Structure 1
């Protein structure tokens, strides 16, 4: 048996219920008898330990007698190698993890449209989503060196443990008033707002400026646009003429978003002729923060463990790569929802499940998570397939699910949440509202093939789910957790299973694809997923490389 790969060591440890630091895996894989080294390290670890550290392995190797190459190690093979771990039908073998034929080349600019030229891609290969992607990563025989020591990210705007909403009418009024107060505050520096009630009393021909939530948008018989805005005092109609340059902006409007308008009142003062429309938006002068050291984060989403189409082989390759020298700087893993496939999410889903019990799905996901190096920091938020409420904001997983996933001690927070990673402000949002944005806006402004453009619209509106009453369910809380008070440095979403990224006013928007091949349901709704990709973000430069593991 040849020298063990880190992937086989990780899988063997996971089968025994252990996670491991990367250097611990390296020491075992490079030992003369990896199987014996693994057993000795487990014996050395204290009772109750879930993470095997480099100190455990070093102590075990220092205390172990010289290996007899002809002896059969306990739990090992005749040559002392690590035995092949038991897997189910959905899991790929360690040999499968080495099937990628070519190592990733140096970073270069994306070759396909729809991405910002300042964001690096892996090679010139392009995906259906219009974003460049790296060629498959070779992991067989790769070596691991060094050690990670990441700081725990700080989390803000997390509804977990703070939810008080009961669904009463008054609570919805409160949350929309909070939305208006906070977003109108972002617009007041650009317009001299007068309340709708006050504008109604102004004389005809007066100049007026109003901030309000979009209450209605409709076209007139002449093809002009009538936009009704509502503030805390009432509503007022605003007419956008079809031959004005700003008419194109009407196509971007969603109900319930907050905008400002400037214009002139008609002679009878019953309507405003709009000259300008303003969104809360990201200032064009915005400059993102960066880390003060060379460190990277992997951004993934939509793992969907429990589905028959979960790509176990690709996951093994990804986890194996994280143990290599090439991934030494990848110290953070940010997962934007849908850890598992869930149950009863869409019609006839039971016919596409490999694991039918939701808790068993999380048990399986926890085993795959153990393959990730134990010295990485993991942050995860839920998605619409996860076992949490569907209404947003979604609290993080309950204690029972947290216990299932406790081996790696991930930081579990709500959807959405703002995560400070080495000084870089990352807004993590699963992305259900992207369906709504893509359905409502013209294809050139938002599409599934270029999901980052739909994310640009949310940044422009400074709200991750502005429209109420459609696909996106909204829960009333003490405040509107979906407002972007602060401009993020990075906006990370998933949900649509498409890969796309770019920069909007210097904010990096990334939709990270998925780890699930096309299901029958996806075929029926014409979703062709971008699966097995891992965007790798350099936190000190905010440059990005996309690696492919299929």
Structure 2
């Protein structure tokens, strides 16, 4: 049947505030009187429902009219029907569905994706299908920092405890105050935070390591193989150094340097069925350079049989262009008001199939606090972007999809990593290399006091306590992907052509790419088996 018929049906339902299943659309399209079938189906569902299921349509077609006495799942408990052989669903409409009056549902602005009673790493969206995305490591609703000195001490202590715990099993660690009392010539190991790095007059490297008891210097000789490793160090990251104390005991001559790192034996989890996820970021709706044509081609492709197994869409920040993010940005805005930008983004999001699970985190252009970790979008913005009932969480967050852990981070710290490390180890042309550095350090933004704003919290939400199966970032507007110790790293480019500001800082963006990850094949060693890059630019 013609492709536009299902699209018209979905448009009609969406304009009345209803989402629907793919198979339900097919049944309506095949009805002898489609208009009458739509009317009967809408009459057959409860007043508080916003999703039209295939059972609703079947009941309406079988009974001809009137309400069914069946019990109905609420929209938050109904799961998508399996994809049919008919045309896939398009979910569009002019108005978001009316919010339900759920007295027990906590406002998103105050408690985010998780309710106050939900433990970290679980979804609190009442009645959600347990197979739908679950979230861990989200700061939303848990931010406690006030900016006091004690808050900064707390976050760094937490960082040290978590990362030193990953290193202590590999070295015979001694606190710095204990090393100070050891005799010269003793073998020693220190787990510490990098407090300073400087070169000596002879070209050697001196690293000051700080732990909770004090600071101790380690010397890396320039002729040692590990001297190159020093170039990869960042201030405030946690490392372990093994070596031998000088005769006077005042310095540690380094023999080896260890990072928290991803174990080389790491094996990723995989989905137990054929299912894929599209990983994108940096849409930048509201910019004059937003590539609407590329987005439309992407959305149209999601409705084709070729995309049948793509059931998840993960957006890693910068839904909109924002306001006042960089100098003279107002001259490059197509939409000036920030809320109007989100309204326009929501309209574009409606072009995505309505039965697709969507996960969104904010970025530095979005209307949330700039300091990381960033809480999720507030209730007002969520209500604007409500058409797909997306999972909205903070930056960063670990999203578990089909048993696969995906660490989503917008990626502001990549700028700092690329600026600090040698080009062959981290560059804008190869953002996946910078991502590998963060995995090695097991921290999303190790260096404090630079361009990356860090919010002081009771715990360090930026530590990678668990190894993700996939590390997904954006921000730098460049396509890059690779594998680091079997962790798939993806920086997913953007949907915005080059702005004058980007031109001034020599950023040539990759536009309109959608990495498609086949979640059931992550254990394959050949990237072509589990990753497909689609271009719509």
Cα separation, 1, equivalents of 2:130 and 2:535: 24
Aligned counterpart, 2:535:
548
Give the direction of change, closer, same or farther, for the CA distance of 1:3–1:428 in structure 2 (3 Å limit): closer
Aligned counterpart, 1:315:
295
Aligned counterpart, 1:195:
175
Is 1:178 equivalent to 2:158 in the alignment? yes
Is 1:331 equivalent to 2:318 in the alignment? no
Cα separation, 1, equivalents of 2:500 and 2:38: 42
User: Could you list the per-position Cα deviations for residues 67-86 of structure 1 after superposition, in whole angstroms to 9, with x for gaps in the alignment?
Assistant: xxxxxxxxxxxxxxxxxx99
TM-score by length of structure 1 reads: 0.80
1:42 CA displacement: 6.2
Cα separation, 2, equivalents of 1:18 and 1:33: 20
1:22 CA displacement: 3.4
Contact 1:7 1:319 in 2 (8 A): no
The alignment partner of 2:277 has SS state of strand
The alignment partner of 1:331 has SS state of strand
Aligned counterpart, 1:431:
411
Contact 1:14 1:371 in 2 (8 A): no
Aligned counterpart, 1:133:
none
TM-score by length of structure 2 reads: 0.82
1:245 CA displacement: 0.3
Is 1:303 equivalent to 2:290 in the alignment? no
1:50 CA displacement: 4.1
Is 1:449 equivalent to 2:436 in the alignment? no
CA RMSD across the alignment: 2.5
Q: How does 1:128-207 map to 2 (within 5 A)?
A: 151-207=131-187
Aligned counterpart, 1:126:
none
Contact 1:14 1:367 in 2 (8 A): no
The size of the alignment, in residue pairs, is 470
After TM superposition, the structure 1 stretch with the greater mean CA deviation from structure 2, 154-163 or 364-373, is 364-373
Give the direction of change, closer, same or farther, for the CA distance of 1:272–1:387 in structure 2 (3 Å limit): same
Is 1:211 equivalent to 2:191 in the alignment? yes
Cα separation, 2, equivalents of 1:313 and 1:64: 42
Aligned counterpart, 2:216:
236
Aligned counterpart, 2:228:
248
Contact 2:14 2:93 in 1 (8 A): no
1:3 CA displacement: 5.2
Give the direction of change, closer, same or farther, for the CA distance of 1:339–1:31 in structure 2 (3 Å limit): farther
Cα separation, 1, equivalents of 2:295 and 2:46: 30
1:17 CA displacement: 5.2
Q: Deviating runs (4+, > 2 A) in structure 1?
A: 5-65
The alignment partner of 1:170 has SS state of helix
Contact 1:180 1:258 in 2 (8 A): yes
Contact 2:17 2:93 in 1 (8 A): no
Cα separation, 2, equivalents of 1:9 and 1:526: 46
Is 1:4 equivalent to 2:29 in the alignment? no
Is 1:371 equivalent to 2:371 in the alignment? no
1:448 CA displacement: 0.6
Cα separation, 2, equivalents of 1:310 and 1:351: 14
Please, which runs of 5 or more residues in structure 2 have no aligned partner? Answer: 66-91, 95-128, 523-529
Aligned counterpart, 1:539:
519
1:314 CA displacement: 1.8
After TM superposition, the structure 1 stretch with the greater mean CA deviation from structure 2, 54-63 or 159-168, is 54-63
After TM superposition, the structure 1 stretch with the greater mean CA deviation from structure 2, 505-514 or 14-23, is 14-23
After TM superposition, the structure 1 stretch with the greater mean CA deviation from structure 2, 36-45 or 519-528, is 36-45
1:322 CA displacement: 1.7
1:217 CA displacement: 0.7
Give the direction of change, closer, same or farther, for the CA distance of 1:520–1:22 in structure 2 (3 Å limit): farther
Contact 1:7 1:316 in 2 (8 A): no
Give the direction of change, closer, same or farther, for the CA distance of 1:17–1:515 in structure 2 (3 Å limit): farther
User: Could you list the per-position Cα deviations for residues 184-236 of structure 1 after superposition, in whole angstroms to 9, with x for gaps in the alignment?
Assistant: 00001111111111111122221110000000111111111111110001111
Q: How does 1:274-423 map to 2 (within 5 A)?
A: 274-423=254-403
Give the direction of change, closer, same or farther, for the CA distance of 1:279–1:86 in structure 2 (3 Å limit): closer
1:45 CA displacement: 6.3
Contact 1:425 1:488 in 2 (8 A): yes
Give the direction of change, closer, same or farther, for the CA distance of 1:2–1:255 in structure 2 (3 Å limit): same
Give the direction of change, closer, same or farther, for the CA distance of 1:327–1:343 in structure 2 (3 Å limit): same
Cα separation, 2, equivalents of 1:412 and 1:2: 35
Is 1:494 equivalent to 2:464 in the alignment? no
1:425 CA displacement: 1.0
Aligned counterpart, 1:22:
22
Aligned counterpart, 1:137:
none
The alignment partner of 2:249 has SS state of coil
Cα separation, 2, equivalents of 1:441 and 1:205: 33
1:385 CA displacement: 0.8
1:33 CA displacement: 8.4
User: Could you list the per-position Cα deviations for residues 17-45 of structure 1 after superposition, in whole angstroms to 9, with x for gaps in the alignment?
Assistant: 55443344555667788788777766776
Please, which runs of 5 or more residues in structure 1 have no aligned partner? Answer: 66-84, 88-148
Give the direction of change, closer, same or farther, for the CA distance of 1:394–1:86 in structure 2 (3 Å limit): closer
Contact 2:154 2:458 in 1 (8 A): yes
The alignment partner of 1:511 has SS state of strand
Is 1:524 equivalent to 2:504 in the alignment? yes
Cα separation, 1, equivalents of 2:210 and 2:391: 40
Give the direction of change, closer, same or farther, for the CA distance of 1:155–1:246 in structure 2 (3 Å limit): same
Cα separation, 2, equivalents of 1:41 and 1:12: 12
Cα separation, 1, equivalents of 2:488 and 2:140: 26
Contact 1:50 1:407 in 2 (8 A): no
The alignment partner of 2:254 has SS state of strand
1:51 CA displacement: 4.0
The alignment partner of 1:259 has SS state of strand
1:520 CA displacement: 1.6
1:324 CA displacement: 2.1
